[in-house]
Amino acid sequence: MQHSRLLDTSISRLSTGIRIQSGADDASGLTVSERLRNQIRGLNRAMSNVQSAMSMSQTAGGALQETQSMLLRMRELSIQAQNDAMNQSDRLEIQKEVDQLINEIDKIASSTEFNQKKLLDGTTSSRYSVSPQAMKIFQMDEKSEPIGSGNYDLKILHNDYGQAEIQRSAVQLSKFNFEPAGANDRLEDSSLFDDFLSFGEVNIEIQSTAGKVVVAASSSMSNAQLAQSMEQAITKPVADGGLGIDGSTFRYDPQTGQFVYKAGLSGDDGELHFLMPENWKNSLGLEVSEAAKRPSFHVIASQNGQVIGADLSSGKMATPVPGLKLDFPPPMPAEAVLAISHTKLGD
């Protein structure tokens, strides 16, 4: 029987290559070998973690390298646009490329991920839960602004409702009687369009903080038709190809002979930039008559019933909670109560 056990032990040692099979073979030696084995397994796991971290860093580095190339191209284009030999149409084409580059940079920032973890959108080290979901949160530099975990209640009060942008065009006079042109008069019958030879069809690009949209215009359109097309492009939802600036108006006033744009949102959310060929730009002559002014808010943060911070925001951003920047969705109600749950990874 003893010979059988010795034979089994010998065969087990030969087959596994391990001299110490159990504590009965060598109690102290087993303790040492198990400790070394655990250290080796831990080091192997650490090496695997380092390799994963290197892969993640390489993924982020590749995305940042592409972003750097695009920023350098944008700088090159901005210098090129300063050339006095260029006209408005040339600068419009340059602006189109810049817009495409900006969109690509935003796309890279929002879509770069490793193992389903976003790398460049500021959410890599924390988890947030916000109510209502329209509120956006951006994490600041945690080294200078340490962030604590927990639930926060925020009360937001309007301090100043701001000012909506208003733009007015040059006065459109009929080339036949030099009186303010009527709503149904054609654009080409305006003295300004006649002076600057603004005939034919063009694309008018309207830019806002929400994006951009293109309106097809023709000198054969009436003043009312152009105003209607512009207003539809401005107010139509983004999902339907518009800018989604609710409450905005773009009208033609036959009494004054002017196109008038009035934003439906105060601050830069309602600001518009109209890009068109030089002769059309001179004919319409759209200029800001009342500049946009951002609304301001009193933001008070509390935790467990105790006020922990307050901030007077001069725009749509505020930082009442250390390390977290809040982005208010437009338009904000007169008073809003928000709840934020923040959890640091590893807590």
pLDDT tens-digit map of 97-108: 888 898 899 888
Q: What pLDDT is attached to residue 333?
A: 55
CA 157 to chain centre: 24
For residue 274, list its beta bridge partners: 206
> What are the phi and psi torsion angles at 8 (to 5°)?
-60, -40
* Interior angle at CA 212, CA 208 and CA 217, nearest 5: 110
Q: Report pLDDT digits (tens) over 291-319.
A: 988 887 777 777 777 777 666 666 556 66
Region 63-86: mean pLDDT is 90
For residue 133, count other CB atoms closer than 10 A to its CB: 8
For residue 339, count other CB atoms closer than 10 A to its CB: 13
Is residue 274 over pLDDT 90? yes
Q: What pLDDT is attached to residue 23?
A: 54
Which of 51-65, 115-129, 154-168 bottoms out in mean pLDDT, i.e. has the lowest? 115-129
Structure confidence at residue 346 as a pLDDT band (50, 70, 90): very low
Residue listed under structure tokens 């190339």: 69
> What's the first-to-final CA gap in the chain, in angstroms?
57
pTM of the full structure: 0.61
Which of 119-123, 263-267, 324-328, 336-340 bottoms out in mean pLDDT, i.e. has the lowest? 336-340
From residue 213, give the alpha-carbon distance in Å to each of 204, 206, 329.
8, 5, 21
Strand order in the sheet with 287-290: 249-253, 258-266, 164-168, 287-290
Q: What pLDDT is attached to residue 345?
A: 44
Is residue 190 over pLDDT 60? yes
Q: Say whether 304 sits in a helix, a strand or coil.
A: coil
Q: Where in the chain is the domain with CATH 1.20.1330.10?
A: 1-121
Tokens of 304: 């467990």
Is residue 32 over pLDDT 80? no
Structure confidence at residue 347 as a pLDDT band (50, 70, 90): very low
Round the CA-based radius of gyration of the chain to a whole number and report it.
33
Is residue 85 over pLDDT 50? yes
Which of 116-125, 131-140, 193-202 bottoms out in mean pLDDT, i.e. has the lowest? 131-140
Greater confidence, 91 or 4?
A: 91
Of the candidates 157, 156, 150, 155, which has an alpha carbon nearest to the alpha carbon of residue 303?
Answer: 150
Q: Report pLDDT digits (tens) over 220-257.
A: 999 999 999 999 999 999 889 999 998 999 999 999 99
Q: What pLDDT is attached to residue 205?
A: 92
User: How confident is the prediction for the chain on average, in pLDDT?
Assistant: 80
Tokens of 251: 């009208």
Tokens of 48: 């695997």
Q: Report pLDDT digits (tens) over 157-176.
A: 777 778 899 999 999 999 99
Structure confidence at residue 75 as a pLDDT band (50, 70, 90): very high
Q: What pLDDT is attached to residue 26?
A: 61
Which one of 5-19, 126-140, 316-330 scores highest in mean pLDDT? 316-330
Overall CATH class of domain 1-121: mainly alpha
